[in-house]
């Protein structure tokens, strides 16, 4: 039963992470193409997709929590292994989905905050370059 739970948690967190990766693929590509403006931005998008999968799976498959079903609680008077009932299955599946979403959301939040800062810096730089490129017109003195 433990191995089935581990496999289900892995597959479920993988599926949720993959779905998020697909949903955010285009926005990430647009942002990175704008900030980096080089073909290497495609490699960064691929890396971010990989990072979403890694963060999602590592967040969703909580080994320390799942371990409760094979190891007794040593802090109890009579250490017992938790039974994996139907209610616990539902709870573990729910936890897997929520933890996966939370982990990936934090990663994407960090990415978008850093991207926003980079975009603002890039925009300020572009505005300064545009100002220095256009000659300032001097008006003749009024009489």
Residue 53 lies in a domain: yes
Residue 44 lies in a domain: yes
Say whether pLDDT at 141 is over 80. Answer: no
Say whether pLDDT at 137 is over 60. Answer: no
Residue 127 lies in a domain: no
- pTM for the model stands at 0.79
138 band by pLDDT with thresholds 50, 70 and 90: low
Residue 98 lies in a domain: yes
Residue 130 lies in a domain: no
Residue 23 lies in a domain: yes
Q: Point out the least confidently predicted range of 24-28, 50-54, 132-136.
A: 132-136
Residue 135 lies in a domain: no
Over residues 54-79, mean pLDDT: 82
Total number of domains constituting the chain: 1
Class of residue 104 by CB neighbours under 10 A (exposed 0-12, middle 13-18, buried 19+): buried
- The highest-confidence range among 34-43, 45-54, 132-141, by mean pLDDT, is 45-54
Over residues 58-77, mean pLDDT: 80
Give CA–CA dist 92/112, Å, rounded.
Answer: 30
Residue 143 lies in a domain: no
46 band by pLDDT with thresholds 50, 70 and 90: very high
Six token digits for residue 135: 């000659």
Over residues 89-117, mean pLDDT: 95
Backbone angles phi and psi of 32, in degrees to 5: -70, -35
Q: Which domain holds residue 31?
A: 2-121
Residue among 48, 51, 59, 53 nearest 103 (CA): 59
């Amino acid at each position: 039963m433990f191995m089935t739970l581990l496999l289900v948690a892995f597959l479920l967190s993988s599926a949720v992470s993959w779905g998020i990766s697909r949903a955010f693929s285009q926005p990430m590509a647009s942002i990175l193409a704008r900030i980096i403006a080089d073909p290497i931005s495609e490699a960064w998008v691929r890396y971010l997709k990989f990072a979403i999968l890694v963060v999602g799976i590592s967040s969703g498959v909580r080994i320390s929590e799942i371990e409760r079903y094979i190891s007794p609680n040593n802090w109890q008077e009579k250490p017992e292994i938790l039974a994996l009932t139907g209610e616990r299955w539902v709870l573990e599946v729910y936890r897997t989905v929520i933890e996966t979403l939370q982990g990936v959301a934090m990663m994407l939040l960090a990415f978008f905050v850093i991207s926003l800062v980079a975009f603002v810096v890039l925009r300020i730089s572009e505005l300064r370059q545009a100002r220095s490129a256009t000659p300032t017109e001097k008006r003749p003195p009024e009489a």
